Structure 1
Amino acid sequence: MEGSSQPTFSEDIKRVMQEISDYAQNKEGNAATECRGKLFLPFFSAECMEFMMNDWKIPENSVIVASYPKTGKKFDVYPNFPIPRKFFFTHVPAELFNFESLKKSNSKVIYVYRNPKDQAVSWYHFATKLRMYTEEQKNAILGKDWNEFFDKYTAGEHPTGVGKGEWYPEHLTGWMKQIKRNKDILLVEYESLKKDFASELLRISEFLEVQLSEDDVQRTSDRCTISAMKNAAGVRTQNLRKGEVGSWKDHLTVAQSEMIDRQMTEKLAGTDIAFTYAL
């Protein structure tokens, strides 16, 4: 709202990212945080997650944007809606989410997903720059090069908010079970946002029961380009890379690509999930 004295979204992003960086530095040396059998990066707090599950009351009429790491959650759509709703962002698996609180608060969830090949590449560029690990730890936990990183990641050895031996498909299947039986969760594909942003924006606004004008759509579209988001994030641009669809072709071998195809076909059977690997 013009004239508001409240911090802008870009200012909030800068503040939160600095807090995460400072906290990560204080947690240096820890391989992962564990909460109820799920493994997270060290800057996540098990106590905070327990509080969120057991004690935190979701504010009335809130919107929670849920996703697996590096699947497009940072698409700066949601805070630009001209509505008096609170927006929250989470990477927690469905097994750790308080759906009872969601229902009682009349809130909604938007679950964002992305094709797993681009996600793996994006995760590689993000994770290998994490500063809470020493080089020795990074090599041991994540892998010393792309091929070793890929093998460890797809074997479920990275702390990405799922159980040991699990990775992206398990996060997806957990949320898909909820999406199938809960009308207050909307599934949004990152690639669809890239392909036809205006149409997806209108679909999201309908889900949130919000009327958007043509100016609202255009303004939000302008703010959600990668270049605009990088400017909004200031110097904290390591979380925003290219955001392209299909860059996996420059990283994955044929064998790696086929291995992901096999795992996704097997583990996502019955979910009706379809991926877009090129635009």
Structure 2
Amino acid sequence: MEELAKVLPADLLPSVQELFDEFSLAGMKSAGVEVQEVKGYRLTPGVTTDALQYAYDEWSFREGDVLLGSFPKTGTNWTLDIIRRLLYDESSYNLCKNLPLSTLILEAGSPLKFSVLDKLPLKRRLMGTHLPAELLNLKKLKESKAKLIYVYRNPKDQLVSWFHFIQKIPHLVNHPLGHMINQGFNNFFEHALKGDLPIGTKPGEGYANHLFSFYEHKNDGNVLLLCFEDLKKDFRGQVEQVAKFLDIEITNDRILEVEKLCSFQTMKENIDTNKNQQLQEFQTANMRKGDVGSWEEVLTDEQSKLVDEKFNQVLNGTDVKFVYSL
């Protein structure tokens, strides 16, 4: 809060402190984790409908704002940092690093955060979401001239990364649904592929359906689909594409600087020195390896085949091509 007190209006600080308190990770571990539903979509345990519905009905993005959509463990944290580096100078970047975690995630926390977001000294705001397209007011987002980027990753690496990540979230492991999570990878794989895990999805649906919900909007003028593996393979070319999409002029030198700042090593060092404990804990849990192809060390041939069949069934007729090795 000390850093925020230097740059935010004094009358905004009590609301910011309240957001820190309500969304502290310690609070989440002891909070009720009832699974709530919206239009048949089951939300992640611990996420309520309050912020989601307020964002859909009451709140509006502004021209130039950016929303990053993604399914868990598809490159969200990395892509958010890349976009943040493109949008902001060092002062605004550091402001965002010190904000309560709920201001970075559309569906997290309470509606109070939207009044805070509206008063931040930022020309362009950036948020992420794991909600499917059906639960987002994309019509209103487009009318406001905001931009939507959706990042996706090959589903085999996603599954492995998701399994490791979810073990670090106590309120999920200890939830009544914990038996899907804490009994080894093979058990987790079965439930994840069947669509048993509530993550903004309908029963029986999962990552493939989530991806398809955004794919249907790929020709909207304010939507960009971004492949995680393409970022790994051609960082400079993909960042140039993102900058162009966001109407940001960027030099080769700046792209090289962003590449260095968003390297795994630099991001890890930044987490270790981050004074925002809430964000530090969240990012530490999120960062693992970010490799392409590590699924081959975990999935059996049969499991790999089952993933192919599931995603081919849902994405049949699309031009989505997954990259499983580099």
Q: How far apart, in 2, do the equivalents of 1:118 and 1:134 lie?
A: 21
Higher fraction of helix: 2
Q: Is 1:35 the equivalent of 2:74?
A: no
Matches within 5 A, 1:1-279: 6=7, 19=23, 21-28=25-32, 30-75=33-78, 76-82=81-87, 84-133=123-172, 135=174, 137=176, 139-180=178-219, 182-234=220-272, 235-236=280-281, 237-279=284-326
Greater Cα shift, 41-50 or 161-170: 41-50
Q: Distance in 1 between matches of 2:325 and 2:230?
A: 11
The answer to whether the Cα contact below 8 Å between 1:64 and 1:89 also exists between their aligned partners in 2 is yes
Q: Quick check: 2:180–2:187 contact (8 Å CA) kept in 1?
A: no
- Which amino acid is 1:91 matched to? H
* Secondary structure of the structure 1 residue equivalent to 2:128: strand
Q: CA RMSD in A?
A: 2.3
1:249 counterpart SS class: helix
For structure 1, the residue ranges without an aligned partner over 5 or more in a row are none
Higher alpha-carbon deviation: 16-25 or 45-54: 16-25
CA distance in 2 between counterparts of 1:17 and 1:125 reads: 27
Rate the CA distance shift 1:231–1:195 in 2: closer, same or farther, 3 A: same
Between 182-191 and 212-221, the greater mean CA deviation after superposition: 212-221
Q: Aligned partners of 1:198, 1:151: CA distance in 2, in Å?
A: 37
Distance 1:55 1:82, change over 3 A: closer
Tell me the TM-score normalized by structure 2: 0.77
Q: CA deviation at 1:50?
A: 0.9
1:243 is paired with a residue whose SS is: coil
Alpha-carbon separation, structure 2, partners of 1:17 and 1:119:
31
Note if contact 1:64-1:110 (Cα within 8 Å) is conserved in structure 2.
yes
The question of whether the paired residues in 2 share the 8 Å contact of 1:138 and 1:144 is answered with: no
CA distance in 2, matches of 1:163, 1:247: 29
> SS of 1:56's equivalent?
coil
Does the aligned pair in 2 maintain the 1:33–1:46 contact within 8 Å?
yes
- Distance across 1 between alignment mates of 2:241 and 2:157: 24
Give the Å deviation of 1:136.
7.2
Question: Partner of 1:110: helix, strand, or coil?
Answer: strand
Residues in 2 aligned to 1:38 and 1:228: alpha-carbon distance in whole angstroms: 37
CA deviations over 1:132-173 (Å, ceiling 9, x no partner): 145473542435111111001100011111111111000011
Q: 1:60 to 1:26 in 2, by over 3 A?
A: farther
**SS of aligned partner of 1:229:** helix
Deviation at 1:59, TM superposition (A): 2.1
Distance 1:206 1:250, change over 3 A: same
Q: Residues 17 and 151 from structure 1, CA distance in 2 versus in 1: closer, same or farther, beyond 3 angstroms?
A: farther
SS where residue 194 of structure 1 aligns? helix
